[in-house]
């Protein structure tokens, strides 16, 4: 049930990102935990915890050249997620740092 809820949240977040023009600016992924995401996040950002990025990224995009923006609280988890995506062949991944930096 929890996994189904996470999938539903991801799909809703992706739909919101596309409606908000997310396709033009790239894909925004909040790699913090679900509780942190619920406390506030960038409009249109999809929540995929950094520990799950490798398993879940293909449900978001299989385009290895897609622009993917990552952020977390301080930039550390975004850096870990970026390294994982780069190892998987994603070539346009940007660590945007912390959520407060984006505000």
Q: How far apart are CA 57 and CA 8, in angstroms?
A: 15
Collapsing DSSP states into helix, strand and coil, what is residue 91?
coil
Residues assigned a catalytic role: 72
Sheet holding 68-72, edge to edge: 46-47, 27-30, 68-72, 93-98
């Amino acid at each position: 049930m929890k996994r189904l809820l996470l999938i539903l949240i991801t799909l809703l977040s992706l739909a919101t990102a596309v409606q908000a023009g997310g396709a033009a600016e790239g894909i925004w992924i909040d790699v913090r935990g679900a509780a942190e995401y619920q406390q506030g996040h960038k409009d249109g950002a999809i929540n995929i915890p950094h520990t799950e990025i490798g398993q879940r990224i293909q449900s978001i995009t299989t385009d290895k050249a897609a622009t993917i923006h990552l952020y977390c609280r301080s930039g550390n988890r975004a850096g870990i997620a970026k390294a994982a995506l780069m190892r998987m062949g994603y070539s346009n991944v940007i660590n945007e740092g912390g959520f407060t930096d984006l505000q």
